[in-house]
Amino acid sequence: MKKADDGSVLILAPHGRDCAVAGAILSEVGIKAEICPSLQTLVGGLDAAACAVVTEEALLNADRRELAGWVERQPPWSDFPFILLTHRGGSPIERLTELLGNVTVLERPFHPAVLVNAARSALRARQRQREVELHLEDRQRTHERQALLIRELHHRVKNTLATVQGLLGATARSTHSVDEFYRSFADRIVSLSNTHNLLTEDYWQTAPLIEMFRNELSHYDDGAQRRITLDGPPVELSADLAVPIGMAVHELTTNAAKHGALSVPGGEISVVWRVRDLKAERRLAIAWVERGGPPVETPRRKGFGSTLLHRVLTHQCHAEISISYEREGLSCHMDIPLVEERLVPEY
């Protein structure tokens, strides 16, 4: 991984006193200077430096191909600043200035303030380049995230339309009048919408399990009697789990309101869930237990709710489902493998 600029200035001046003089001048004003014994050493340090001071003779008598390659390979945001020290009275050698690109030429001997000003200007320019780099990286991350969100949106809309189509057909087969069809279908669409509201709060990624239970059950609690008990750790469900589990919770609630514990004033529902960490996967266990309702009998035929629980959760979520029609109240136990991969990263 490339190191960020540390604000240091590399100095390559292998002949005479230029190296010692330039280093002392920069250090005097608090600019970190590093002496490079060879051009190869200088090129190796350019990624982590912010500027380089180089003498003409150091480049003329060296193999410059590695330096030329480094300059050529700079990313679009980068234009590394060089300070080239030349001899007074002579013209800068054109092939060297072309090689370095972003170069400031100083004639020797120079006043210390001239070198300091040139170095400070180069450091400021490099800092601005790094700010551009960060801006471009941020834009790239935003672009990639938006692309992932669009992919997830397409996937979710396609799945939602398929779910609505399935609800439409199943509701039509399980109802006996237009009014009953309308009420049942509308309630299921509202439940589906509530789950999607939770998902969109997290960019269509996850929905908190407890909020899904609260959406369906909270309005059955009143101030005089606590009829609903929810007990479990925080669990975030991926979208592919949240939608079918939300539908299952709605069907259990609807059945309880029509025939079970919520159909009479004294009935109560307890929902307990736990997460088990196994070697190969994490699994979510949910226990839905009704008590205090009318005596329960095993139904003669499967309704839409039980069909959905078995088909959707078993096939789509790979869940294990067991429903017990005990006389004192219905119990439903679900054991579901947790899918926890996010398509779109969190901010």
* CATH code: domain of residue 16: 3.40.50.2300
Distance (Å, rounded) from C-alpha 71 to C-alpha 79? Answer: 8
* Total length of the chain: 347
* Residues 103 and 201 occupy one common structural domain: no
In this predicted structure, what is the pLDDT of residue 335? 93
Q: What does the pLDDT average to over 206-220?
A: 89
Evaluate whether residue 190 is within a structural domain.
yes
Coil vs helix vs strand at 335: strand
Q: What does the pLDDT average to over 102-109?
A: 91
List pLDDT tens digits, range 182-193. 887 888 888 777
List pLDDT tens digits, range 43-63. 999 999 999 999 999 998 889
Confidence band (pLDDT; 50, 70, 90) for 121?
A: very high
Evaluate whether residue 346 is within a structural domain.
no
Q: Which of 257, 258, 249, 259 is nearest to 308 (CA)?
A: 249
* Residues 122 and 213 occupy one common structural domain: no
Distance (Å, rounded) from C-alpha 107 to C-alpha 274? Answer: 76
Structural domain harbouring 256: 175-337
Question: What pTM does this model have?
Answer: 0.56
Instruction: Give the chain's mean pLDDT.
Output: 85
Distance (Å, rounded) from C-alpha 241 to C-alpha 244? Answer: 6
* Residues 13 and 65 occupy one common structural domain: yes
Evaluate whether residue 342 is within a structural domain.
no
**Above 50 in pLDDT, residue 139?**
yes
How many C-beta neighbours within 10 Å does residue 34 have? 17
Evaluate whether residue 204 is within a structural domain.
yes
Evaluate whether residue 212 is within a structural domain.
yes
List pLDDT tens digits, range 11-36. 999 888 889 999 999 999 999 999 99
Structural domains in the chain (count): 2
Structure tokens at 220: 């059955």
Percent helix, strand and coil across the chain, each to the nearest 5: 50, 20, 30
Number of separate helices (H) and strands (E) present in the chain: 11, 12
Which domain CATH number covers 315?
Answer: 3.30.565.10
* Residues 181 and 237 occupy one common structural domain: yes
* Residues 216 and 303 occupy one common structural domain: yes
